[in-house]
Chain A
Amino acid sequence: MKEDFNDTENLIVRHFNGECSEVETATLLAWVNESEQNKKEYIALKDLWDSSRKMADYTEIQLAKFYKEQYFRSRKSRMVFIRSAIAVAAVLLLALVINIFVPTTSEKSMDGYQVVTVPLGSRSKVTLADGSEINLNSGSELTYANSFTSQNRSVTLSGEAFFHVKSDAGHPFLVKTKNFDIRVTGTSFNVCAYGEDVLGSTTLAEGKVKLQLNKSNQEFVLKPGEKFMLDGNAQKYSLVNADVEQETAWKNGEFIFKSIRFSDLTKRLERWYDVKLTCSDARLMNYTYTGRFKNQETIWQVLDALRLTSSIDYKRTSFREFNIIYKSNN
C-alpha cells in the first residue's frame, strides 16, 4: 500500500512536469476519479504547482497590443463608415433632386430583424435573399428576420405590398399580417393590410395562395383573380372576383379606382401623396368614385379633377392639409 501511494506521488509530480506517458496519465486520471479525497488532493497540489510558477509578466506588452488592435478595428469600421456615408450622401442627394419633401425608404436593423419602412408619399421595392421581389406601397413596413434564407422564408407586413415570390414548393413563403397569414410557394399577389385599417385584403394575380385567419385559424384557398377581404373587427370576410390590374396598378405608379367609397379614396390619396384630407360632410359618403391617375399628377391636380367631375370642392388648410367640402350641384 505504502509503495503504491509513493507511486502516485511520483506520478503526480511527473504529470505536473509534463513527463507522463499516456498510460501513466490514464492511471493518474483513474486515481483522481477514485474518490473525492483524491480529487481534492490533486486539485490542491496542482493549484500550488501552478501558482508557484514564475512567468514573465506580459501585461504592458499585451496592453499595448490591445490598443493597437482596437485602433485597427476602429479604423476599419471608420473606413466602412466613410464608405457607407458616401453611399448615403449619394442617395440623399438623389432624393433631394427627386423631391425635397419626400423622405426616402429607410432600412433599419434591430434585434436580428430588418425593417423596411416606406414613408407616406413614396414607394419602394425590396429583393429578398431567396430572389422574391416585393413592391411596397406608401406607408408600409416590411419586417423580416436576419435569418431569412431561401429555406426559411417568412416576413411580416403592415401596409400594402405586391409579392412576386420565387417558386420553391419545398419551402413555403409566409406573409404575416395583423389579421391573417398567407402561405404560398411561388405566386404573385397583392396584400393590403395597413395596421390602422379595419379592412384587409389579398388579391391573387397568379398561382395559388393559402390564407389563414389569425383569430379563428379558418383557412381559405384563393384562385387567380380572386380578392379576399376581411373586416378585422367583425371578422367578416368576403371572396369576390377582382380586377387584378386595378388592385396592382399602384406598383407601376398608377392609381386606379373603380366604385370605391369616399373614405377609401381619401385614405388612398393621403398615403399616396402624404397629405391630410379632412371632410366633415356626410353627404360625400354616399358617392362612389371611379378614376385613374398617373403618378405624375400632383395632389392639386387630383383634387382639381375631382372638383370638376363630382360634387367636391376643397380648401387648403395648412401645409399638406386639405379640407374637402361638399358642393351642391346648383
Chain B
Amino acid sequence: MDFDSVFRKYHHRLYLFTLKFIENESDALDIVQNVFLSVWENEKLGVDELKIQSYLFNAIKNSCLNYIKHRKVIRKYEQIAAAELKELEVFQYQSGENSLIEKESLQQLEDAINSLLPIYKEVIILSRYEGLKNKEIAKQLNIPVRTVETRIFRALTLLKEKISPKTFFVLMQLSGTFK
C-alpha cells in the first residue's frame, strides 16, 4: 500500500478520532498531519495493514495526550475537569478499547441513525449533522431544553443497543479487565 492510499484511507477517520479529544479543528488537523509525517519519514508502510492502522491510531492517542497535558499546564486551573474527562477517555482507548471510528463502524452507525424514530433522529441530525446547540434545537423544535437533552440521551442509548450487540459485548468484556 503506497503512502497516498494510506493517507486517503485513514485521514478522515484519524481526524474524527482526534476530534474526540481535541476541540480545535485546526490543531486536530495538525496532529493528524504530523502523524502522517512520521509515517512518511520512517517508511512504516512496509508493514502489514493491521499494523499501520494500530500505529496510526496509537500515534494519534499519544499526540492527543501530550496536547491535553500541555493545555492543562498552560491553562492552569481553567476547565480542569473537562481536560480530565478527555484524558480519562484517551487512557481508556489506550488500554485497548476501540472506538467505533477505529472499528470502521461509521456506516453501520449512520444506518442505525436512519432507523431511529423521527423524534430521536431529528435531534441527532440537528446536533450532530448541523452542529446546533441544545438551546438552538429547543428553539427550532419549540420544546424545552431539558426535553432536547433527554431525547438526545435516549437516542444515544437506542443507538448503543442497535449497534452490533456482539461488538458491544466484546467492548464490555475488554473494559471489564481494566482496573
Contacts and interface: CB of A to CB of B under 8 A. Distances in A.
B132 to A, nearest CB: 9
Interface residues of B, number: 56
B160 A52 contact: no
Interface stretch (A55-63, A117-125, A212-220): A55-63
B109 A51 contact: yes
The majority secondary structure among interface residues of chain A is: helix
B36 A50 contact: no
A54 B129 contact: yes
Nearest to A11: B149
Given A39-B88, A48-B159, A13 B82 contact: no
A6 B159 contact: no
A28 B84 CA distance: 11
Interface stretch (A18-26, A156-164, A230-238, A287-295): A18-26
Interface string A49-90: 111111101110011011001100000000000000000000
Interface in A295-328: none
Contacts, number: 131
Nearest to A50: B20
B101 A51 contact: yes
Contact of B100 (A10, A19, A47): A47
B73 interface: no
B166 interface: no
Nearest to A26: B81
A43 B92 contact: yes
Nearest to B110: A52
A48 B108 CA distance: 11
Interface size class of A (residues with CB under 8 A): 35 or more
A91 interface: no
Interface in A1-57: 6, 9-10, 12-20, 22, 25-26, 28-29, 32-33, 36, 39-40, 43-55, 57
A292 to B, nearest CB: 56
B7 A66 contact: yes
Contact of B8 (A15, A45, A51, A63): A63
Contact of B99 (A51, A57, A59, A62): A51
A46 B81 contact: no
B142 to A, nearest CB: 18
Given A25-B81, A62-B32, 7 more contacts: A10-B149, A13-B134, A13-B148, A19-B133, A50-B101, A62-B33, A66-B40
Among all A-B residue pairs, the 3 with the closest Cβ atoms: A51-B100, A25-B81, A59-B11
Interface of A: 6, 9-10, 12-20, 22, 25-26, 28-29, 32-33, 36, 39-40, 43-55, 57-59, 62-63, 65-66, 69-70
7 contacts: A15-B85, A16-B152, A25-B79, A29-B81, A40-B175, A47-B20, A51-B106
